[in-house]
Chains A and B, each alone.
Chain A
Amino acid sequence: MPPVEQASAARVARVLVVDDEASIRLGCVLALRSAGWRADGEGSARSALGRLTEGPPVYDAVVLDYAMPDLDGLALAAALPPHGRPPILLASAHGDGAAALAALRLGVWDLLAKPLVPEDLRRRVARRVRRGAAARARPTGLEAVLRQCNRCAWEEARAVLDATDDLSAECAALLRGLLYQVTGDVARARAAWPEARWWPGWERQGTEIWAELARRLG
């Protein structure tokens, strides 16, 4: 999808890429810039925190690496209030079940599985920074639910999920299960997994749980 055309009527969207690996950071920035967005790079979570909290909010999305030496991506996300922060896309190559669940609980439901390819990155960012006509258009069911989830508005997310009808049964079951899981209703969450065809082991599963969630929610 060509986001540059959609965004041309409004201000060009601005994205912050936070990754301690310079080459990956540069790759992401170039991938986003080549799509017509303004992209900045930041090498550490602390400097990114400063940039995001000082001055008026200018970023439409943050692409955040999970594993960083000084402060990890989750800690940075936790330091930003869910209502005032820009949408966060959390990328990880090693995120396990516990990290994924912690991210979901913080309202970070845009999980990216590393290694990234430019096209995937652009598609996922575009979904969060649609503006103008695209933003006014009716969002898909998945987007509408995720929008509430990203605000940690669990009840509203559940209501939207119940109201929407353009989700597959498998996807709806997954979202319902995840909502139960983040709100601590483990028994109901467990009951939802067979329909979602997925049986997550949050404490025990390896990195594949992150990749699987990124794929299913992406």
Chain B
Amino acid sequence: MKRWSFIGGLTVTLLLLLAMGGFGVIVTRDLTTDVERIIAGNYDAIRHVRELRAGLMRINTRYLHGKSTGQLPAGQGTFDVESAGIRARIDAMRRASALPGEVELVDRVETLADDYVRHYRQLFFVGPRDAARFTTLSDAIARGTEDITQLTQELVELNERAIFARRDAAAARGRRFGWLALGIAGFSLVVYLYTSVRLTRGVFAPLRRLRDSIQQLRERRFDAVAPVEGGEELAQIAGAFNRMAGELRAYVAESDQRATEASRTSRAILEALPYPVYIADADYAVQLMNPRAERLSAALQIPGALPGAVRKCIDDAAALGCELVGDDLRRAVELPESGEAGAPVPTYLPQVFRMAPAPGAPAGWAVLLVDVTQLRQFDQAKTKAISTLGHEVKTPVTSIRMTLHLLLEEKIGPLTADQRELVAAGRDDCERLLTVLQALLELARFESGRVPMKPVPTPPAELLAQAEAMHGSYVRGSEATVMTEGEVAALPPVLADPLHVVRVLGNFVSNAIKYRVPDTPVTLRAERRADGFVRLSVRNRTARPLSEAEQMKIFDPFYRRPEEQREGAGLGLTICREIALAHGGRVGVFCDGGQVDFYLDLRIAAAAAGHAAG
């Protein structure tokens, strides 16, 4: 309905303005016609009177000039011309006469003019010879002139009155038209104001309220309702908006319900977890923690906060640019709660995950502290047992070895053939035992984290060059060709402790030399991987390819391939794996037909640093 009142208001205003314009045109045309009439009738009459008078004046001036002296100019040419002009003017005046009484006046002027002409003719006839007659006629001419002037003046006044009357009538009409136009303008203004108010109330105000409702929705105030008002169309929009808001409200309520349930479930899981769980933002501020974590922080005298050692783990994860998960006990942290004396120090293995504390918030961290107190005790006991036993056994074994070597030299005394064979067998066992002991002790040192490891950014080319340069010391007297393949100089620096990494590569190289097809080269290679690692690998050709099962087990302690000679301790590759793990890297083997690749993956230093900075 609003639409009709709006259109109606506009139409009325338009019609009024059109009517006013049309009326104005008519009034202007009438006025023009009046002016034309005045000019055609009245003004022409006045002009003829003026010319008539001028004609009389010219005749009188010429011929009555010598009246007093009793003289008359010779010739009547001027008179004949002027008197004919006077006659023509009177005819024209008669033709132009339109006013009441004007024709009578013209008739009278004609009569006087006839007398005037006749008197002049008599005057010309008499001439100055008859002075008395000349004077009488001159006086009659003067009187006639005066009468004509009097009468024509009346004619002029009559026409002037007519002009003034027409002017006054036009002015009155103009005034009326002005009032009418003012009235129409006022009425149009009223209609315009009325339409504007209706439009503002009926369209703009509801639209504004609808906009406010949408704004409320945008501010997630889902109880917003748009008033159903205004015209039909606006009411339809408001209705549609309210239906949409209602659906949105229902959806949000449902989502809230689901989120609440999910939150309740996760809280229940968190609470049920026997391990402390912290969820922190990027600035280490704890956003969520389970009761076990609350107890831990309280026991550490830092209620509600992350323990320092855990922060350090997050820093490590950030520096490495990855999540820290796994069962490597060397990453375990001790968090001594004030408990009973003599009890083992609670030890946790932090599992660090990336996680946003709230939807849309910047990524923070979730830390699950797996309690490994007992596990680490066992592990430490095992490592210590191996270490102690190793050292305790090693000293007597070395002295037995010395003794057996001395006896076999027979410088102290001769041996029988059987004795020599027995002692030689004992010496060989001793050698093997020592090799195994040394490797075991070393592995125990790596496992207990007592081997200092300092990864620094190192170009892969440098690591390969060192490994290539040192291959002579891995397999003494070897004639093998060891060479580096590919463009390794362009690779980015990796995080590596060169001493240990070169040792890993050396181990791979010595194995490659040992197991290669004779007279084939051993190649060192390096390539960038897609996951932020650089792969350093040692390749050789082999006559005995590794099966998949063998590839899985080859890094396990004491693993030997079937029918392999018992040489070394069987721990070399295990130590390599330990070194790789300590670098946050990985080792592996890849066998494709007759070609074997042992590889070590190390993290790209720039990627790790970039992530930490970010």
Binding site for B on A (CB under 8 A): 21, 23-24, 27-28, 30-31, 34-35, 93, 114-119, 194, 197-199, 201, 203-206, 212
Contact B402 A118 (CB under 8 A): yes
How far is B409's CA from A157's CA once the two chains are assembled, in angstroms?
37
Query: Does residue B403 face the partner (Cβ distance < 8 Å to A)?
Result: yes
How far is B402's CA from A93's CA once the two chains are assembled, in angstroms?
14
Given A21-B395, A206-B442, A197-B470 contact (CB < 8 Å): yes
Contact B411 A27 (CB under 8 A): no
The contact of A114 among B398, B403, B473, by CB within 8 Å, is B398
Q: Please name 4 further chain A to chain B contacts, defined as beta carbons within 8 Å, in addition to the given A27-B402, A117-B402, sorted by A numbering.
A: A21-B399, A116-B398, A197-B470, A199-B466
Q: List 22 A–B pairs whose Cβ atoms lie within 8 Å, in order of A's numbering.
A: A21-B399, A23-B399, A23-B400, A24-B395, A27-B402, A30-B412, A34-B411, A34-B412, A114-B398, A115-B401, A116-B402, A117-B401, A117-B402, A119-B405, A119-B409, A197-B469, A199-B466, A199-B498, A204-B454, A204-B499, A205-B499, A206-B445
Query: Does residue B167 face the partner (Cβ distance < 8 Å to A)?
Result: no
Contact A118 B470 (CB under 8 A): no
| B247, chain A: closest CB distance, angstroms | 67
Query: Does residue B497 face the partner (Cβ distance < 8 Å to A)?
Result: yes
Contact A197 B399 (CB under 8 A): no
By secondary structure, the A interface counts as: loop
> Which residues of B are found within 8 Å of A114, using beta-carbon distances?
398
Query: Does residue B604 face the partner (Cβ distance < 8 Å to A)?
Result: no
How far is B454's CA from A118's CA once the two chains are assembled, in angstroms?
38
| A171, chain B: closest CB distance, angstroms | 13
Closest to A121 in B: B402
Given A30-B406, A31-B402, A115-B434 contact (CB < 8 Å): yes
| B442, chain A: closest CB distance, angstroms | 7
Contact A118 B406 (CB under 8 A): yes
**In this complex, which of A34, A35, A198, A206 has the most chain B Cβ atoms within 10 angstroms of its Cβ?**
A206
**Interface residue ranges of B470-512 to A (CB < 8 Å):** 470, 472-473, 497-499, 502
Query: Does residue B614 face the partner (Cβ distance < 8 Å to A)?
Result: no
| B273, chain A: closest CB distance, angstroms | 39
Closest to B402 in A: A27
Closest to B411 in A: A34
> Which residues of B are found within 8 Å of A118, using beta-carbon distances?
402, 405-406, 409
Query: Does residue B298 face the partner (Cβ distance < 8 Å to A)?
Result: no
Given A93-B394, A197-B469, A23-B403 contact (CB < 8 Å): yes
Contact B472 A115 (CB under 8 A): no
By secondary structure, the B interface counts as: helix
Query: Does residue B452 face the partner (Cβ distance < 8 Å to A)?
Result: yes
Given A34-B412, A93-B398, A203-B452, A27-B499 contact (CB < 8 Å): no
> Which residues of B are found within 8 Å of A199, using beta-carbon distances?
466, 498-499, 502
> Which residues of A are found within 8 Å of B445, using beta-carbon distances?
206
| A215, chain B: closest CB distance, angstroms | 9
> Which residues of B are found within 8 Å of A212, using beta-carbon distances?
473
How far is B501's CA from A205's CA once the two chains are assembled, in angstroms?
12
The contact of B403 among A27, A34, A201, by CB within 8 Å, is A27
Contact A197 B473 (CB under 8 A): yes
How far is B555's CA from A6's CA once the two chains are assembled, in angstroms?
52
**Interface residue ranges of B400-425 to A (CB < 8 Å):** 400-403, 405-406, 409, 411-412
Contact B497 A204 (CB under 8 A): yes
How far is B566's CA from A137's CA once the two chains are assembled, in angstroms?
45
**In this complex, which of A114, A116, A117 has the most chain B Cβ atoms within 10 angstroms of its Cβ?**
A117
Closest to B465 in A: A194
| B113, chain A: closest CB distance, angstroms | 145
Q: Mark B439-460, 1 if CB is under 8 A from A, else 0.
A: 0001001000001111000000
> Which residues of A are found within 8 Å of B473, using beta-carbon distances?
197, 212
> Which residues of A are found within 8 Å of B499, using beta-carbon distances?
199, 201, 204-205
| A1, chain B: closest CB distance, angstroms | 14
> Which residues of B are found within 8 Å of A35, using beta-carbon distances?
411
Contact B399 A117 (CB under 8 A): no
Query: Does residue B360 face the partner (Cβ distance < 8 Å to A)?
Result: no
The contact of B398 among A24, A201, A206, by CB within 8 Å, is A24
**Interface residue ranges of B499-528 to A (CB < 8 Å):** 499, 502
Q: Mark B538-568, 1 if CB is under 8 A from A, else 0.
A: 0000000000000000000000000000000
> Which residues of A are found within 8 Å of B434, using beta-carbon distances?
115
Query: Does residue B396 face the partner (Cβ distance < 8 Å to A)?
Result: yes
Q: Mark B337-372, 1 if CB is under 8 A from A, else 0.
A: 000000000000000000000000000000000000
Contact B406 A115 (CB under 8 A): no
> Which residues of A are found within 8 Å of B466, using beta-carbon distances?
199
Contact A115 B442 (CB under 8 A): no
How far is B408's CA from A27's CA once the two chains are assembled, in angstroms?
13
> Which residues of A are found within 8 Å of B470, using beta-carbon distances?
197-198
> Which residues of A are found within 8 Å of B403, using beta-carbon distances?
23, 27
> Which residues of B are found within 8 Å of A201, using beta-carbon distances?
497-499
How far is B400's CA from A212's CA once the two chains are assembled, in angstroms?
24
Closest to B427 in A: A117
> Which residues of B are found within 8 Å of A116, using beta-carbon distances?
398, 402
How far is B398's CA from A24's CA once the two chains are assembled, in angstroms?
8
| A94, chain B: closest CB distance, angstroms | 9
| B452, chain A: closest CB distance, angstroms | 5
> Which residues of A are found within 8 Å of B452, using beta-carbon distances?
203-204
> Which residues of A are found within 8 Å of B399, using beta-carbon distances?
21, 23-24, 27
**In this complex, which of A24, A31, A115, A198 has the most chain B Cβ atoms within 10 angstroms of its Cβ?**
A115
Closest to B403 in A: A27
| A134, chain B: closest CB distance, angstroms | 21
How far is B397's CA from A201's CA once the two chains are assembled, in angstroms?
29
Closest to A206 in B: B451
> Which residues of B are found within 8 Å of A24, using beta-carbon distances?
395, 398-399, 402
| B476, chain A: closest CB distance, angstroms | 10
| A100, chain B: closest CB distance, angstroms | 14
How far is B407's CA from A70's CA once the two chains are assembled, in angstroms?
31
> Which residues of B are found within 8 Å of A115, using beta-carbon distances?
397-398, 401-402, 434
How far is B434's CA from A108's CA once the two chains are assembled, in angstroms?
27
Given A197-B469, A204-B497, A117-B412 contact (CB < 8 Å): no
**Interface residue ranges of B224-260 to A (CB < 8 Å):** none
| A43, chain B: closest CB distance, angstroms | 14
Contact B398 A34 (CB under 8 A): no
Q: Mark B216-229, 1 if CB is under 8 A from A, else 0.
A: 00000000000000
> Which residues of B are found within 8 Å of A31, using beta-carbon distances?
402, 406
| A179, chain B: closest CB distance, angstroms | 21
| A2, chain B: closest CB distance, angstroms | 11
How far is B406's CA from A115's CA once the two chains are assembled, in angstroms?
13
Contact B409 A34 (CB under 8 A): yes
> Which residues of B are found within 8 Å of A204, using beta-carbon distances?
452-454, 497, 499
How far is B438's CA from A206's CA once the two chains are assembled, in angstroms?
12
Closest to A120 in B: B405
How far is B97's CA from A211's CA once the two chains are assembled, in angstroms?
153
> Which residues of B are found within 8 Å of A206, using beta-carbon distances?
442, 445, 451
> Which residues of A are found within 8 Å of B469, using beta-carbon distances?
194, 197
How far is B506's CA from A199's CA once the two chains are assembled, in angstroms?
13
> Which residues of A are found within 8 Å of B502, using beta-carbon distances?
199
Please name the 9 residue pairs, one residue from A and one from B, whose CB atoms are nearest each other, closest first: A23-B399, A27-B402, A115-B398, A34-B411, A201-B499, A204-B452, A24-B399, A197-B469, A117-B405
